Amino acid sequence: MANEKGVRGSVLFAGYRSLGLYSNHVPHVVRYHKKHKEFYLVTAVGKSFLTYNVNKLGQVAVSNALPEEITCLAADRMLVFASYGNLLKAFARNKEIIHTYKGHESDIHLVLPFGDHVISVDTNNTVIVWDILSAEEYLQLNFDKGNFDISAVMHPSTYINKILLGSQQGSLQLWNIKSNKLLFSFPGWQAGVTVLQQAPAVDVVAIGLANGKIVVHNIKFDETLMTFQQDWGPITAISFRTDGHPIMAAGSPIGHIGLWDLEEKKLMSQMREAHSTAIAGLTFVHGEPLLITNAADNAIRVWIFDGPGGQGRLLRFRLGHSAPPTFVRYHGQDGKHILSAGQDGAIHSFSTIHDRYSKSLGHGSINKAKAKKVGLRCTYLRLPPVVCFASETARQNDWDGIIACHQRKSYCTTWNFVRSTMGAHKLKPPNLKTKGTYATAVDITSCGNFVVIGLSAGNVDVYNIQSGIHRGSYGEDTAHDGPIRGVAVDGLNQMTVTAGDDKLIKFWKFKSKQLMHTVDIEVTPTCILLCRESGMLSVALEDFSIKVLDIETYKLVRRFPGHNGKINDMTYSPDGRWLLTASMDCTVKVWDFPSGW
């Protein structure tokens, strides 16, 4: 047994890579590599950061992990800077820590590379300017939080040794960090500063405010050139196009992006629901009509502006679950694809080979045609999250090969892996007498033709997945008294196994629906798993133990006690020798069938 003595880690397994993690709430960074002549995108995911090439959004590097979650990201031509807590680290080659900047007494929340220096600002309003190579403190500035609580920092282009600071009080200050002098104070616009962004024109800065206003200001003459008002709350990010079009993009907390025409001084177009959460980062690639966005919804998107009207269209993206996964299974026997359903209601396929083979199958929809007409993000038409599914590759090129049951829904949906979409059928029992009945367990036959669905009322039904036609039920009225906890079909479509709340495991002839045998397991099961190759049926019980039955003889062949919490899921190793179980006691245990350990 792995982890038997409470030792962290495992003697059998080692972490290889994470799948489906692309972005969080930390704004991304875009950097240009002179030697490669290529732009790279850096995004934070927990304690590490990922580097992608902008060309294909291919992942090129994963950084070494920090002890805590990254709170700030920044980059210059050579290094990537990441902060956690009160420490700032410099990474070389997108991977290794080569410098540590230690001196802050509270958490760092702003970082700005500045020539041979890097500037960091903490929540106590202390600004420290570091020498990058020596990692020594060059200058420290302290501000009174009541008068000037720093919320944004930038270096105005061509202003040697100068930085511009924005505050939550709304005022701005221009400092010379070489002479340690305050050069100028801007009174502000009666709202807190959230973003400072250099415009393509020298001396001009875009200032995003907490009241949704954007002020384009000339800091040399202290003159406001234009103001825009966005109605979606505080400005979260600003970027300017640099490919000859005078366009400014501004992000919002609800995932919309406003595109403003700086010549006409008006809103040119809106990119509604670019993300499902607040826009964290927003960058126009220098000299190209490309806009990169990221957000806490675990998505990176690259938009291209090549059509009429200046509207951006989605060019490339990397997308994962925006809420925790609820059910995960391999799709097929080759181990190349992992299907995952999440609390966000979506089903994703993640490739173990390369990210470019990963894809989203989308969200379940109550009315597929209407949802397509209204738009992708019509949340009121979405089905609740998938709680379990079963998939088969045998006929996936001909018709749907995935069956999924949704939280407290009486019908199950079919999905098509090849077309990456929800299928045509919603499989609902024809003679459902009990109100409030919902599907609890599903399985699909190895031939890819039939699905078996168990319900909370104790019914077990068989359907043809190609046509969606009901092919019969098990039992005279119901298969079990109480909810179905699991269903399984053997590899040759000879036998169906059902487990119910009545503490019974029943074995049925698949085709004739005739009951062959019943086993009383004395404890309520939570789930079952059949290894089709070996005929071993593992049953997880409410007393946190596992019983293993042989479906040929109906006999109990193994019993594995040992967990201290509800068993959430089970799987077999490819050769069928091991059973792996995951439990609410925060352990994953490996059981060996031959030895019984």
| Residue 168 included in any domain | no
The Cα 215–Cα 207 span in angstroms is: 5
Q: Please give the angle made by the CA atoms of 145, 151 and 154, to the nearest 5 degrees.
A: 125
571: nearest Cα among 376, 359, 388, 329: 329
- Are both 134 and 234 inside the same structural domain? no
Tokens matching residue 219 = 């800091």
157: nearest Cα among 198, 128, 124: 198
Cβ atoms of 51 and 39 closer than 8 Å: no
Name every residue whose Cβ is closer than 8 Å to that of residue 118 and which is 6 or more positions away in sequence.
74, 76, 81, 88, 90, 101, 111, 112, 129, 130, 132
235: nearest Cα among 267, 210, 204: 210
Domain of residue 280 covers: 230-319
CATH number, domain of 280, equals 2.110.10.10
CATH number, domain of 74, equals 2.130.10.10
| Residue 122 included in any domain | yes
β-partners of residue 141 are 127
- What is the separation of C-alpha 263 from the centre of its chain, rounded to a whole number of angstroms? 38
The Cα 483–Cα 538 span in angstroms is: 19
- What is the separation of C-alpha 481 from the centre of its chain, rounded to a whole number of angstroms? 39
Give the model's pLDDT for residue 8. 61
Cβ atoms of 179 and 141 closer than 8 Å: no
| Residue 276 included in any domain | yes
Tokens matching residue 50 = 């990922």
Provide the 10 A C-beta neighbour count for residue 187: 10
For residue 286, give Cα distances in angstroms to 38, 201, 247, 411: 11, 14, 13, 50
229: nearest Cα among 254, 208, 203: 208
């969080």: which residue's tokens? 24
- Are both 137 and 249 inside the same structural domain? no
| Residue 28 included in any domain | yes
Give the model's pLDDT for residue 411. 95
* Amino acid in the structure at residue 414: T
486: nearest Cα among 476, 496, 494: 496
Cβ atoms of 180 and 164 closer than 8 Å: no
Last residue of some domain: 87, 120, 142? 142
| Residue 298 included in any domain | yes
Share of the chain residues as helix, strand and coil, in percent rounded to the nearest 5: 5, 50, 45
| Residue 564 included in any domain | no
pLDDT tens series, the chain, 597 aa: 344 444 467 788 887 788 999 999 999 999 999 888 999 999 999 999 999 999 999 999 999 999 999 999 999 989 999 999 999 999 999 999 999 999 999 999 999 999 999 999 999 999 999 999 999 999 999 999 999 999 999 999 999 999 999 999 999 999 999 999 999 999 999 999 999 999 999 999 999 999 999 999 999 999 999 999 999 999 999 999 999 999 999 999 999 999 999 999 999 999 999 999 999 999 999 999 999 999 999 999 999 999 877 788 999 999 999 999 999 999 999 999 999 999 999 999 999 998 889 999 999 888 777 766 666 456 778 899 999 999 999 999 999 999 999 999 999 999 999 999 999 899 999 888 778 899 999 999 999 999 999 999 999 999 999 999 999 999 999 999 999 999 999 999 999 999 999 999 999 999 999 999 999 999 999 999 999 999 999 999 999 999 999 999 999 999 999 899 999 999 999 999 999 999 999 999 999 998 887
Pairing of strands 108-114, 117-122: antiparallel
473: nearest Cα among 463, 465, 483: 463
């033709």: which residue's tokens? 449
Last residue of some domain: 319, 344, 375? 319
Torsions phi, psi of 514, nearest 5?
-80, 135
Cβ atoms of 205 and 156 closer than 8 Å: yes
| Residue 395 included in any domain | no
Pairing of strands 266-271, 126-131: unpaired
Last residue of some domain: 142, 159, 185? 142
- What total of structural domains would you count in the chain? 2
Write out 130-167 in H/E/C secondary structure: EECCCCCEEEEEECCCCCCCEEEEECCCCCCCEEEEEE
| Residue 496 included in any domain | no
